[in-house]
Amino acid sequence: MTRPELACPLCDNTKFQQEEGRLDSRWGITSHRVTLMICTRCRYILHFYDKHSIFDFD
């Protein structure tokens, strides 16, 4: 099975800059690792969650 190609929902571009980051909850109890795919044409950002845990404080 082939994986579908990622396309920007605004401009249909298929080229992205990939960045990784971390989002903390409002009170800092939980932390979410995210992958951001940034469209190289219009700079629209697609967010993808990785894993999260209430015990991941770094």
Please check whether residue 25 lies inside any domain of the structure. Answer: yes
- The encoded tokens of residue 18 equal 């990939």
Please check whether residue 6 lies inside any domain of the structure. Answer: no
Q: 48: domain range?
A: 16-53
Q: What is the pTM of this model?
A: 0.71
Please check whether residue 4 lies inside any domain of the structure. Answer: no
Residue 19 buriedness (CB in 10 A; 0-12 / 13-18 / 19+): exposed
Per the structure, the count of domains in the chain is: 1
Question: Distance between CA 13 and CA 6 in Å, rounded?
Answer: 9
Please check whether residue 10 lies inside any domain of the structure. Answer: no
Extended beta strands in 1-58, E state: 16-24, 31-39, 45-53
Please check whether residue 34 lies inside any domain of the structure. Answer: yes
Please check whether residue 7 lies inside any domain of the structure. Answer: no
Please check whether residue 11 lies inside any domain of the structure. Answer: no
pLDDT in tens, 7-55: 999 999 999 999 998 878 777 777 778 889 999 999 999 988 765 544 4
Identify the pLDDT of residue 40. 97
